[in-house]
């Protein structure tokens, strides 16, 4: 039996995305205030994010999404303007 590839979700509204980013920034601030190192916070957040992406898109869909994300990293899409070489 062949399963159909999951349909990618519709993009979230910009306001939802901004609100979600604000929540994540608050969580990072709280973690740092609790003495958790930034490296541990980022890896934990990435791990949880990937788990949710797999739940949403399935393993193959998540792998495609992450390959595209890797290209974004290489192109500077995720770099902060003050840290771009």
Kindly report, residue by residue over 13-70, the tens digit of the pLDDT. Answer: 788 989 999 999 999 999 999 999 999 999 999 999 999 999 999 999 999 999 999 9
Record the pTM.
Answer: 0.70
- Cβ neighbours of residue 57 closer than 8 Å, sequence gap 6 or more: 6, 8, 9, 64, 65
Q: How far apart are CA 22 and CA 80, in angstroms?
A: 16
Determine the pLDDT at residue 82.
76
3-class SS of residue 7: coil
Determine the pLDDT at residue 15.
87
Determine the pLDDT at residue 28.
95
DSSP H stretches of helix in 1-85: 14-33, 38-75
């Amino acid at each position: 039996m062949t399963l159909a590839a999951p349909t990618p979700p519709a993009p979230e509204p910009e306001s939802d995305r901004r609100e979600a980013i604000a929540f994540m920034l608050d969580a990072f601030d709280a973690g740092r205030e609790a003495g958790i190192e930034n490296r541990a916070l980022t890896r934990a957040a990435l791990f949880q994010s990937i788990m949710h992406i797999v739940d949403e898109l399935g393993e193959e869909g998540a792998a495609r999404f992450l390959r595209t994300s890797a290209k974004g990293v290489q192109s500077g899409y995720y770099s902060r303007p003050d840290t771009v070489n």
